[in-house]
Amino acid sequence: MKATNVADDVTHAAVRLFAEQGYANTSVQQIVEAAGVTKGAMYHYFESKDDLLFAIYERMLSLQKSHLDEIIARGGPVEDVLRTACVDVVETSIEFLAEGTVFFRSQHMLTEPRQQEVVRRRREYHDEFARLIQRGQAEGLYRADVPRAVLIANFFSDIHYLSHWYDPAGPEDKTLVAEQITDLFLTGIRRTDA
């Protein structure tokens, strides 16, 4: 029950340090010191510094994707499904705010193979999300006079931007904020002509 503590401790220390100082400005030495382990131990669990960064993404990506799958699986009116999906991804992004900070800043620091893997995983999420929008457009709920890429970007941008303004220590409740952001998005894309 303590076997994988090393991996966890290292991961947590890495997230914190990467978020505070950036990936490139954080040395492996700093990470293992903060985690209270030695370099050798760390390299026993992670192939490289790069691998550590990937592990951070992996955890968040898996979680959000499984949530989305589940929400869609539950079925229901597309508007409800979309709203639930949006609120969920904002909420989990707030829960993983440090991971998101690292993610959006340092994705490009990954080596090529892992970079590709991240892109692939994110595209899966993106495409599944896009199909919801598409269904809504087909039902005449959402604007079709704007490229779907713009509509989607309009929402995903908010996820990215959270770490630039949201303060977990501040007054705003994460669920409320998630609903507000979702509301602004859904209002913006609603079809109003007719």
Partner DNA sequence: GATGAATGAGGGTTCATTCAT
Partner DNA sequence: AATGAATGAACCCTCATTCAT
Give the binding site for DNA (CB under 7 A): 3, 5-6, 25-29, 37-41, 43-45, 47-50
Q: Which does 3 bind (CB under 5 to 8 A by kind): DNA, a copy of itself, none?
A: DNA
Compute the least distance from the CB of residue 107 to a copy of itself, in Å.
9
Q: Which does 154 bind (CB under 5 to 8 A by kind): a copy of itself, DNA, none?
A: a copy of itself
Which CB atom, from 43 or from 104, has the smaller least distance to DNA?
A: 43
CA atoms within 13 A on the CB side of 3: 1
Residues forming the site for a copy of itself (CB under 8 A): 21-25, 104-106, 108-109, 146-147, 149-151, 153-154, 156-158, 160-162, 164-166, 172, 177, 180-181, 183-185, 187-190, 192
Compute the least distance from the CB of residue 194 to DNA, in Å.
57
Compute the least distance from the CB of residue 74 to a copy of itself, in Å.
26
CA atoms within 13 A on the CB side of 193: 5
Residue 173: how many CB atoms within 10 A of its CB?
11
Compute the least distance from the CB of residue 88 to a copy of itself, in Å.
18
- Residue carrying the six token digits 């029950």: 1
User: Tokens for 143?
Assistant: 């604007």
Compute the least distance from the CB of residue 73 to a copy of itself, in Å.
27
Helices 148-165 and 112-138 pack at an angle, to 10 degrees, of 120
Residue 147: how many CB atoms within 10 A of its CB?
9
Q: Which does 123 bind (CB under 5 to 8 A by kind): DNA, a copy of itself, none?
A: none
Distance between CA atoms of residues 189 and 150, nearest Å? 10
Which CB atom, from 109 or from 186, has the smaller least distance to DNA?
A: 109
Helix (H, G, I), strand (E, B) or coil at 190: strand
Tell me the Ramachandran region of residue 166: left when phi exceeds 0, alpha when psi lies from -120 to 50, beta otherwise. Answer: beta
Which CB atom, from 75 or from 112, has the smaller least distance to a copy of itself?
A: 112
